[in-house]
Structure formats: structure tokens, C-alpha cells
Structure 1
């Protein structure tokens, strides 16, 4: 048996190392999102390190600023990744996050606090546009799903990590720890290779071969490395025959249009499954659940519980996605999440009519929703979007869908409470449940299985589905004629 470096030939260890480092900024981003929970309580208290407690308006601007910036930078990060490389884009987003923590360390001025949080939006965009694409392009087909799920695992771990240290350490100590994460990443990631697909696109075939050989733990002359380089070149040569204008290519090619529809549906379904408003409404639900003297948790303990549920869910996704496939996991989590949202809506409806219902039910359904989001809806939608497009479209599609997701998140955070008061909170949760159940049906009828399959095979499935839809439409027309 031959050995490459310290590992046996064909080992996947280098891919795992590279994927872990690619997703290190996601861990840092997760910590930056988690930072708002314990630090808001501190900054609005009488013991605020600023000297004066922050107002609700200041905290609201700090919380919403990243989502507004993310809408624009979803597309900017896609452009940077395609033009100057996935590696540079990744270093850029770590630099933005490091700058954010430096500003927080240097100033308590309101503009500085809001600007620092706005920079988190740059990292947010890069984490869900650049990182999944980069991970997909360095991974074997046999492990790309498991490595692709790391983005959610690292985000949820970052959240939980900050919830815990936010309860234990001082304000400035936490900032220094958070600053160390993107700083370490920028230093270490310099030694990692860029995406072989990007290098081939730029005509740097020799460099791409060396990068791929290192990732696959093989020599540059190995036939399998050469075959994979040829496959990348073949895929990109096909893209040259299509229009250089993204929207024209999407809307004139029926298969690309179908793939784009799938990417958009699973992305929006992930955002409108109820997880985001549920997380923001968690405090009140926990309060209601503990009215009868049951479980009583502080706000930060609530955050820790939800963070732990998210981490467990994302670990499950990473461990089973290559065995179960994308389609079954996405269907199951959509179905269970939909049922849990409907159950939560029913609980609120019964409460409105003064009908006694178990106080532990909201806590259970909330945890189920968060678990399903982390174990299926989030990671599988991201992995799937990266797998159903070639290099030419992968970045811009991820950017467009994530921009739509950012708009959706911002609108939900803005209008959820006013609408819930106007029509009743139960209506909101029934709506989220209905969206999840529709998603489960859509998964069964439309979405192809992409596990360990090449793009050509996936598109054959989409073509069959399109042909079947055309036949059904023709049959309907024939029937209506008579």
C-alpha cells in the first residue's frame, strides 16, 4: 500500500482538515450571533460597561444591522468568490469579522456598536455563500454531504459556545476570545489550497492538479486525479456554450430553471419554517410553560437549552446524511417540523379559549422545531443548492437565494409580533406548519436525490420530471378537447 505524506494513498483526511478550516469562520460567525443574547442583557443593565444602559432602539439597530448588510453582501461575496477565488473571499470575511471585534474593543459609541454589528453581515453572507461552495468543491462525492453539513454544525456550536462563556466571563475577555477566532483562521488558512474548480476556471491547471492531489492524498500523476481534473474541465467547457448572462441562461434552459426553482423553494422553506420567530419568541413561551411552577429558566439558560438542541440536531445531520440521503432527511424534518408547528398553534388556540392544555407542550414543540431546522431544513437545503449547479452558476445562485433568505429573515423579525397581535399567535404558527407540510410534499414530488451523484445524472432526473410534466399537460389538453 502506498502512502502520501503521513496518510495512506486515497485518504480523505486532508479534505476533512481543509473543510474544518473552511468552516472555522462559521464558528466565529455563530459566536458573533450568539453574542447578542447575553451581551444585550449586560449592555442594557445598570452594570453596562458603557456606563449607561443601551436603549431598546439602539439594541434593535444592533440586532437588525447584520441582516440588512447581508442582503447586499450575499451577491457581493458570490462575485468575489467567482472573480478572485474562494480562498480570498474566505480570508476577506474573517478580516471583516476581526474588524468588528476590534471596533467593539475600542469604542462604546452608538455608531461604533451599530457599525461593528453591521460588519457581521459581511461574514454572515460569506458563511452561507462561500463556505458551502468551497466545501463542495474540495470534497469527494462520497463525503460532500457530511462535510457540507459542517456549516450548520459550526454555526450552532459557535452560538452555544458564546451562550456559555457569556454567562461566565467578563465583557472584554469575551471580545478578546471572539477576536482570536478569525485571527487564527487568517493565519492558518493561508496554507490551504484554493478550490480546484476555481483554479481550472482561471487556466491554472497545474496548480489545480497539485491542489487536488493534496486533497485526495495522491500524486499529481495519479490517474484518478487526472480524471477528476478532466471532469471539472468538461463541466466548465459545457458552461461556455451557454449565455454569459445569468438570468437569460436560467430562464431559457428548462433544466436550469427547474434547478433554480428547487434551490429557491428549499431556501425560502428553510427560512419560513418558523425557527427564526420561534427563537425570538422563546422567552415568552418558556415563561408560559413555567406558570404552573414547572421548569423555570433564566433568559441565558433558555438560550443555552436551544443552543444545545441545535448542536445535537446539526451533529445528527452530519453523521447520517451520507447514509440516509438528502431527500429522506429533508422530507422527514419538514414533516415533523410542520406537525410540531401545528401542535404549537393548537396550544395557543386552546389557551385563547381558556381550555386547559399541558404547559410542557410549548417547550417540547419549540425544541422539536429547532431540532428539525438544525438537523435537516438548514444543512440539506444548503448542500442541495450547491450540488445541483455547475461551477458557473453555483456562486451566483447561492448568492441570489441567500439574499432572498436575508430579506425573508428581516421581514419576519420586523412584522412577526405586530401580525401575531393582530391575527393571533396561533395563526402565525399554523402558517409556519402549513409551509413545512407543503415543503414535505414538494420534496417527494419534485426534488431528486443528489447523494454521491454527479451533476449529469442529477440533471437527467430533472429532465425526466420535466418530460413527465409535459406529457401530463398534453394529456390534460387532449381530455379537455373532448
Structure 2
């Protein structure tokens, strides 16, 4: 196979093209989440396209429905991806989202609005289960981290895109643009290859070799392509010798258990870093920040600012992850996020005691928290979870991790405000800060570096890291100074 077009042999451009198209549903999903910000304001206004304003209860159901559906479909989409393939699973995601937009275009009935938003939960689940796994399986080891970070970059870009067009364009025009995104994906993605790992699992070795050759811009007979196919086959042959009950394997194998613990810890750390409630309290914080400083932003402008910060952070993650490695980037963003949350908690505490504090401080800490979430905590936790498991476990563990994340998000949205009023909002932010600081310590002591490394090497580190649990504080301090 000598056709490479304008691409030189061994070029990574086909992998980039494929990864971009794999993550196009994430862009569409990000737009669907961002849609709620400007459109809920419009639908509740006197100029509502429905004719009468929506109630707070109706908007609350619309906002929370995707998260409830996502809890179940995190596991469903992991199963679907393993059974029918990554490619078809992605096509189903776009189909679900396209259906959601069509319903919104056709009806203003309350049940239709809530059902349409519920379908977003299907896409939400698949985007964070299937897209990272698919991206990992088509990527060369030297760029899989950068391509793995695209999932967060595309989500945040989709959010910002909708914040902007939702503020500028009409209700129906915005819906038509949103419908175009998953539709284009379904048409274009037909031409992309299936995951080589899935094809090998199904015994379709020749197809897997051709797919991998196209992705690597090499001939199917190229030695590097053949070696990579052999490596995939070896990994899957090792999985065949173990029990079919995934959870039993994980809890009886010490290395798999350690990897599973790491996946769950980084997932929870990502969700409990404070980003979810910070975004929820953004309006209040901006209002407080504008009292003395003269900074007056509309709700949509607030959303645009936060969206821009997220995009900048996710661009940084994609740019530096292959140079810095997973471990340093996750450590630094956890540490800075923890310090910013503690600083925000201190600001609220000082305000409660009527002690003057700079009005720009909450705005600054809010942006730092969102930036750290987008540049490290979100993308690296997703990339890391995909890299520390073999094909057999990768999809289902990602599904369990995302289900845990969905439950965490739902509970935070449900209980954060009542708890903040009961114990004080400063206590909540101190809690988030402590979680992030403990995460940074966990990263240093437990988590191995996975950059450009094969699974066998990573598991060798996990075996060695079991002894880290007995390290003294001085030894842990020596580890930290390496950064």
C-alpha cells in the first residue's frame, strides 16, 4: 500500500484527522450543554419562543435530565462499544443527539423538552466512555496523550461556541446549527477506520492491519505495523487467560486492583475539585466581584468568559502533555486548584466576618479553578484511565468511572446549595481545596508516569509503587522535589 497522498511515510496526520472526527460528537455534546445557558434565559423570558415563559421547575428538569440518564448509559455505552465496535457506537451517539435537536425543533411541549434533553445524556455518556477509548486505540504512543486531551478541548470549545451563537442568533437558527454538527459527523465518519484493537478482538486481522497501516501512513507489510499488530494480539491473548467476570478479576488481581483504584481516585478528584459548584455559583461570585470594581457582566458574558478560560486551559493541556508527561501536569493542576479553592474559601470567610477583601479575588480564583480543571484534572484523568488498562477492561472501567462521575455531579448539583447555606459556603470550598491538595500528594506517591509507555512497563511500576505506601514523609518529600 503506497498511497499516502501528500503525506510522508510514517506521518501522524491520519491519526490526527481520525481523532478530530472521533471527538466531533464531543464538540456537539459541548454545544448541547452550553445551549442551556442562553436558551434557558430566553425560554423563561417574556419573549419566550414557546409563547409563555417556562417555569423554574421545567428548566430544572431540563438541566438535570441528562445527568440522570448518563448514570445508566455510561455502562450501556461501554457495553455497546465492546460488542458492536467503537465506530458504530460513535454513530449512535450522533444519532441520539440529532434526534434531540429534531424534537426541540418540532415541539415546545414540556414532555418533549425534557425528553429531548434526556437524549443528551446518552451522548454525554458515550463521549466520555467511547471517544477517549477509541482515540487511545488509534493513536501512536508518542501522541496519544495530546490526542486524548482533545475530548476536553472539543467539549469546552462546543460550550463556548454555543454561548456565543446563542447570544447572537435566534432560537431556531441556533437549533439548526446544532443539528448540523451530529449530522455532518454521521456522514463523514463513515469513511473512518474501526479501532484496530476491536478488529483484532473479532479475529479480523487483515482489516486491523489495513486500518493500522492507514493510520500510521505506512504499508500493510511494514515491519512497524506488523509489530504493533502483534503487540495488540499479545495483549488480548493475555486477557483470554483470565476469568470473564471483570469485577472478580479486578478485585483478585493486585495490579488490576491498584490500577482500578487509581482510575476511581482521579475520576472523583476531577469531579470534586470544585469546578462543578464554581460554575454553579459563577453568577453570585461575579455579582460580588463587581460591587467595588465596576465589573458588570451579563449572565451570557459570564458564561463566555468561563468558556474562554476553559478553552485556553484545554489547549494548553493538548500542547504540553507530551512534553511534560501526565504525572507532572496532574500534580501541578491539582496543587494550584487546591490552593485557589482554599483562597476562595478564605475570601468567603472574611466576608462573613465583614473583613474587607479584594473584590477581584473570587473572580481570579474562579478562573484559576476552571483553568486547572480544563488543563489538567479533566483531560489527564481521562487519558490516564485509558492508558492503564488493556482492551478487555478499558471500556468497562471507563464506563464505571464515568458513572461514578455522573453520580457525583448529580449529588453536587442537588445538595451543594443547601449544605452551603447550612455549614457556610467557605466550608464547602475548603473541602474542595483539601481534596485537590490530597490528590496532588496521591499523584506523587501512587500514580505512575504513562507517557509513551506500554502496559507491561506501567504495570511494572505499579508493582514497585506498592512499596510507596510504606514510605516515610522524608522520602515522599524527595519525590515531590523532582518536579
For residues 50 and 471 of structure 2, the distance between their equivalents in structure 1, rounded to whole angstroms, comes to 67
* Unaligned segments of structure 1, at least 5 residues: 473-482
Q: Write out aligned runs for 1:250-261 (5 A).
A: 250-261=250-261
What is residue 9 of structure 1 aligned with on the other side?
9
In the TM superposition, 1:166-181 aligns within 5 A as 166-181=166-181
- SS of 2:356's partner is coil
Kindly state the Cα deviation for residue 471 of structure 1 after the two structures are TM-superposed: 9.8
Please name the residue that 1:413 is paired with. Answer: 413
Q: Using the alignment, how far apart are the partners of 2:396 and 2:327 within structure 1?
A: 24
TM-score (norm 1): 0.97
Show the counterpart of 2:466: 466
Count of residue correspondences: 471
Residue 230 of structure 2 corresponds to residue 227 of structure 1:
no
| Cα distance per residue 1:246-302 (max 9 Å; x no partner) | 110000100000000000000000000000010010000000001125211000000
Name the structure 1 match of 2:326.
326
Aligned to 1:63: 63
Structure 1 residue 352 and structure 2 residue 352: aligned? yes
Partner of 1:374: 374
Aligned residue for 1:147? 147
Show the counterpart of 1:475: none
- In the TM superposition, residue 307 of structure 1 has moved relative to its aligned partner by 0.2
Summarize deviations over 1:302-359 as a string: whole Å, max 9, x none. Answer: 0000000000000000000000000000000000000000000000000000000000
For the 8 Å contact 1:263–1:385, the answer to whether it is kept is: yes
What corresponds to 2:476 in structure 1?
none
Per-residue CA deviations over 1:164-203 (Å, capped at 9, x if unaligned) read 0011000000000000000000000001000000000000
Other-structure match for 2:481: none
Q: What are the residue-to-residue correspondences of 1:173-212 with 2, within 5 Å?
A: 173-212=173-212
**C-alpha deviations, 1:76-135, integer Å up to 9, x for none?**
000000000000000000000000000000000000000000000000000000000000
Which aligned runs of 4 or more in structure 1 are off by greater than 4 angstroms? 467-472
Q: Is the 8 A contact 2:74 2:400 kept in 1?
A: yes
Counterparts of 2:351 and 2:162 in 1: how far apart (Å)?
35
The 5 Å alignment of 1:240-319 reads 240-319=240-319
- TM-superposed CA distance for 1:465, in Å, is 1.4
- 1:476 corresponds to: none
Cα distance change, pair 320–96 in 1 and its aligned pair in 2 (3 A): same
Residue of structure 2 in register with 1:426 after alignment: 426
- 2:110 and 2:468 mapped to 1: Cα distance? 58
Q: Does the CA contact (< 8 Å) of 2:19 and 2:135 recur in 1?
A: yes
TM superposition score normalised by structure 2: 0.97
Change (3 A) 1:470 1:246: farther
Structure 2 gaps of 5+ residues are: 473-483
- Post-superposition offset of 1:6: 2.5
Corresponding residue for residue 85 of structure 1: 85
Cα separation, partners in 2 of 1:469 and 1:415, compared to 1, 3 Å: closer
Asked whether the equivalents of residues 331 and 443 of structure 1 are also in contact (C-alpha less than 8 Å), the reply is yes
| C-alpha contact 2:29 2:123 (8 A) present in aligned 1 | yes
Q: CA deviation at 1:5?
A: 3.0
1:28-81 Cα deviation digits (max 9, x unpaired):
000000000000000000000000000000000000000000000000000000
Aligned to 1:383: 383
CA distance in 1: counterparts of 2:12 and 2:426, whole angstroms: 48
Q: Kindly indicate whether the alpha-carbon contact (under 8 Å) linking 1:3 and 1:9 is maintained by their aligned counterparts in 2.
A: no
Q: CA deviation at 1:466?
A: 2.0
State the match for 1:35 in structure 2.
35
- Cα pair 1:285 1:362 within 8 Å, conserved: yes
For residues 58 and 5 of structure 1, the distance between their equivalents in structure 2, rounded to whole angstroms, comes to: 53
**What residue is the counterpart of 1:393 in the other structure?**
393
Q: 1:470/1:329 Cα in 2 relative to 1: closer, same or farther (>3 Å)?
A: closer
Note the alpha carbon deviations across 1:416-450, whole angstroms, 9 max, x for none.
00000000000000000000000000000000000
